[in-house]
Chains A and B, each alone.
Chain A
Amino acid sequence: MWGRIGGKQGKQEVVRTVYFGGGTPSLLPAFHIEAILRTLREEFAFIDRPEITLECNPGTAETVKFSDYLGMGINRLSMGLQSANDKELEMLGRIHTYKDFCIAYEQARNAGFQNINVDVMSGLPEQTGDDYHRTLSAVIKAAPEHISSYSLIVEEGTVFGKMFSEGRLKLPDEETDRKLYQKTGEYLRAAGYERYEISNYAKQGYESKHNSSYWERIPYLGLGLGASSCYGEIRFCNTPDMQEYLKKNFAEESRRPETMPKEELIVTLSAFYSEVEVLTKQAQMEEFMFLGLRMKKGIDKVLFEKEFGQSYEAVYGTVTEKLEAEGLLNVTENHVTLTERGIDVSNYALAKFLL
């Protein structure tokens, strides 16, 4: 796929963003990160000043030289603070303390990083409104350019999931959780952050280009264990098994001819990736909607028609009308967006766009 997307020979696609994420890439010695970036630049065409983000665990700060990162072209950091309360951090199983974060953050600023995201979490077990307010205030004081705020989702098969099913996890009730979520918006807006997606806030001009491309369905190539990619109508994913991953000869895949019939392509890809999936037109329409509506700017009806050759009204007119009547959508001539209430119950609203 590498070759097909634009490895050396083709270069038909241009890299706009790079994101080192999924785990703790800041644990990787800087020269490895540099080597990866160098290889990417050799293989792909890049735009001028691409957004290159590195996820950084505040607990690994002492081993990290932020100036080195800047030197190799990384221009955005994403720091997983989660909470300014050490007890909450411990409960979340984080290795860092709030103080670790402050030190790391300051080091990053001093090194010259001018685009930093901080992750925070609401809806933690036993968290009160005041607890969360303190975290938010601390973050606002640090004044990063971008803030992601997630509410804790307890999933089956996790430690929290087990605790929850055993009744040992005291989560804030729905009402409190929702208030926390709303407060987040108010505090952050007052501090100059705009909510541009369900969980993401940014100072003007600092919206994450990388993450936005997922919601705008721009092709992406995932490298490394368990990483997902999507290219046009094909979505595929690397194996999560390290041994299996090491056995694959991806260079072999890239040498295959660039054009081949779809069926053959699937077979070829299946040998290298797990979960190869061809999105039908219907699935693409659905994703256009449920990804697009996550963004504050919503979806563009004209773009929908351009992309799918069918009018928006013909496909989604009825659903849109119903959800608008329920107060979940704002509809203008060319755009559809979720209302505040629509965001609160977005799963309910977005499920309606499945055809």
Chain B
Amino acid sequence: MADINQNHIRNFCIVAHIDHGKSTLADRIIEKTGLLTSREMQEQILDNMDLERERGITIKAQAVRTVYTARNGEEYIFNLIDTPGHVDFNYEVSRSLAACDGAILIVDAAQGVEAQTLANVYLALDHDLDVVPVINKIDLPSADPDRVVDEIEDVIGIEAHDAPRISAKTGLNVEEVLEAIVERIPAPDGDPKAPLSALIFDSLYDSYKGVIVFCRIKDGTVKPGDRIRMMATGAVEQVVEVGYFGAGQFIPCEELSAGMVGYVTASIKNVRDTMVGDTITLDDRPCKEPLPGYKKVNPMVYCGMYPADGAKYPDLRDALEKLQLNDASLTYEPETSIALGFGFRCGFLGLLHLEIIQERLEREYNLDLVTTAPGVVYKIHKTDGEVIELTNPANMPDPSVIDFMEEPIVSAEIMVTSEFIGPIMELCQERRGKYLSMDYIEATRALLKYELPLNEIIYDFFDALKSRSRGYASFDYEFKGYEPSNLVKLDILINKETVDALSFIIHSDTAYERGRKMCEKLKGEIPRHLFEIPIQAAIGSKIIARETVKAMRKDVLAKCYGGDITRKRKLLEKQKEGKKRMRQIGNVEIPQKAFMSVLKLDEDK
């Protein structure tokens, strides 16, 4: 394998809006290149985590290498690099793109160009990739490939006239795509004799091999025994194994040379040493400078995670530790809440990332979690000139020492059909959006540009967008920067005691409304006690909303004769079991789900 001709390698990725058929096409490519028997074929090979399959999205970039015999009779090596399809993982996407020489752009023949289509294409073009458009789902009754071709040419500005028109689902015309890859995606260049420079686009922790680094060799050659250095982190290790990606397995080989995509293992214990975007070089013969584009990714969204059962704290710590082995963008540090006990303040790339981690902790590690409201990182400028990055509302300093506060802002692009422009603009308005522009990209569709505070979109913006546009709006955003904002800390008091885990930071204009809703919601979640319980929302010492949980009057089982005793016992046990899942705040027992329910205040709209 060592002497594969660079001319016969194609490194590419597939970019698409969600649900336009990326994973299905990847499956077909793998199938048509015949590397796998049909028995090995899983429904969607690239998405090999259960969770990913259920959500229909790809979380971690992965790669697969297949062999294609083209119509010209020659064999080509295809390295298909999969990219995550969510804005939370934009940086990882950009590194995956940087490992490619071209990209297949899939556009749904019925839906046409969407916000993510644009965002992804622009990303690909930014990386100088040759983009090969493919029109998918032409078997749908509502398919209108001619219109979509025009749209691609008009909106994106790339030639799409001879774009393959396929159905990845049925396999129709997929060969056209394979030929297009050979013909239209350039072969890699790079000098195998030059000093090693290899781009890390992903990594995976394996308990036997240590960290498995996924990389694209730009220049030079790497083989077992070489001492390699990660240029950004400075970690130096000796290579144990190199190889390429079979479908779902690692296949060792003698060496990887310029133009190839593969993996390297070197007994690395921590994925933090192999940050995505970093450059691998040889320790004794380094390249002059690292490959461009590396940056350290910082968490954008934070929340507190607590074990429902306090005794499970060490289990939660172990689980986070293990997840972090594979996910350098997950951060956590211990914190203590009066209401929830010992737990962790965890940082994520975005809300989806948070949800994925939460689900993995619950499913794979069997942990029952209580999660506090997710928040963003605020910058607090104190009167003494000190600037604090606030990730936990409970740590907010007294307002008297705060000069001003800043919150993170994103630039958002929303693509929407014209009849829903009104409702979507209204939504952006409600979320404190700053209108930038609106362009009609075709007669019935417009591209809206807004600046939105990140904390207004992390909960349910996407859901609201979908429901107010009946699914016809698509959305993409990127971090813009920090801007001053009139923010306050809203506290919730239950039976006159502040519940730290329920505090959050909010814009002062919406504080009243939010406080009122939270009190209402909590009233429904807190069971009656023997005494009356006031629930209050407060800013500082000022109460802005109040609800009352009335005292329990009656809770009695009228009949209890011979045949009722087992049922009665079950009822009492249920009552007792319910208590177990309660948190004691003062003398009030609060169900754990109350902490989560306040995250979903807008559901009832």
* A residues at B contact (CB < 8 Å): 22, 150-151, 153, 174-175, 177-178, 181, 198-199, 211, 214-215, 220, 222, 226-230, 235, 237, 275, 277, 283, 286-287, 290-291, 294, 326, 328, 343-348, 350-352, 354
Contact = CB atoms under 8 A, between A and B. Distances in A.
Nearest to A222: B562
Nearest to B527: A348
Interface in B8-31: none
Contacts of B553: 174-175, 177-178, 344-345
B49 interface: no
Interface string B569-583: 101110110010000
A177 B556 CA distance: 11
A174 B561 contact: no
B605 interface: no
Max count, chain A CB within 10 A of own CB: residue among B554, B556, B573: B556
B601 interface: no
Contacts of A178: 553-554
Contact of A150 (B554, B558, B563, B568): B558
B360 to A, nearest CB: 34
A215 B563 CA distance: 12
Contact of B530 (A151, A199, A345): A345
Max count, chain A CB within 10 A of own CB: residue among B553, B559, B560, B562: B562
A291 B555 contact: no
A5 B226 CA distance: 84
B576 A354 contact: yes
Contacts of B572: 290, 347, 350-351, 354
15 contacts: A151-B558, A153-B557, A153-B558, A174-B554, A178-B554, A198-B560, A214-B560, A227-B563, A228-B565, A287-B569, A344-B555, A347-B557, A348-B555, A351-B572, A354-B576
B77 to A, nearest CB: 62
Pairs of residues from A and B, 10 with the lowest C-beta to C-beta distance, nearest first? A150-B558, A351-B575, A228-B563, A347-B555, A351-B572, A178-B554, A178-B553, A346-B556, A174-B553, A345-B555
B575 A214 contact: no
B552 interface: yes
> Number of contact residues on B: which range applies?
20 to 34
A120 to B, nearest CB: 11
B556 A220 contact: no
A297 to B, nearest CB: 16
Given A347-B571, A351-B575, A214 B556 contact: no
Contacts of B566: 228, 235, 237, 275, 277
Contact of B561 (A211, A237, A352): A211
A220 B568 CA distance: 17
Contacts of B556: 151, 181, 198, 343-347
Given A174-B553, A175-B553, A326-B530, 18 more contacts: A150-B558, A150-B559, A151-B556, A198-B556, A199-B558, A214-B560, A220-B562, A222-B562, A228-B566, A287-B565, A290-B568, A291-B560, A344-B556, A345-B530, A351-B572, A352-B576, A354-B572, A354-B576
Nearest to A350: B572
Max count, chain A CB within 10 A of own CB: residue among B552, B558, B561, B566: B558
Contacts of A230: 562, 565
A352 B530 CA distance: 14
A351 B575 CA distance: 7
Contacts of A222: 562-563
Contacts of A286: 569
Contacts of A291: 560, 565
Contact of B576 (A181, A211, A214, A351): A351
Contacts of B552: 345, 348
Nearest to B552: A345
B538 to A, nearest CB: 29
Contacts of B559: 150, 199
Contacts of A151: 554, 556, 558
A105 B552 CA distance: 39
Given A174-B554, A345-B552, A347-B555, A214 B530 contact: no
A214 to B, nearest CB: 5
Contacts of B579: 351
B12 to A, nearest CB: 55
A47 B402 CA distance: 85
Contacts of B561: 211, 214
Contacts of A343: 556
A300 to B, nearest CB: 19
Max count, chain A CB within 10 A of own CB: residue among B563, B571, B573: B563
Contacts of A226: 563
A294 B576 contact: no
B532 to A, nearest CB: 13
Interface in B222-278: none
A337 to B, nearest CB: 15
Contacts of A352: 576
A153 B576 CA distance: 20
B554 A345 contact: yes
A333 B145 CA distance: 89
A214 B565 CA distance: 9
Max count, chain B CB within 10 A of own CB: residue among A215, A227, A343, A350: A350
Contact of B554 (A215, A275, A344, A354): A344
A347 B555 CA distance: 6
A331 B552 CA distance: 22
A81 B110 CA distance: 68
Nearest to B563: A228
Nearest to B579: A351
Contacts of A153: 557-558
Contacts of A229: 562
A228 B567 CA distance: 12
A112 B198 CA distance: 104
Contacts of A22: 563
A230 B553 CA distance: 33
A290 B575 CA distance: 13
Nearest to A119: B559
Contacts of B560: 198, 214-215, 291, 294
A177 B560 CA distance: 19
A226 B565 CA distance: 14
B528 to A, nearest CB: 9
Contacts of B568: 290
Contacts of B576: 351-352, 354
A286 B566 CA distance: 12
A328 B555 CA distance: 12
Nearest to A290: B572
Nearest to B554: A178
A228 B554 contact: no
Contact of A198 (B558, B569, B571, B573): B558
A150 B556 CA distance: 10
A226 B560 CA distance: 16
A283 B568 CA distance: 13
A250 to B, nearest CB: 18
A347 B566 CA distance: 14
B551 to A, nearest CB: 9
Contacts of A350: 572
A285 to B, nearest CB: 12
B563 A348 contact: no
Nearest to B556: A346
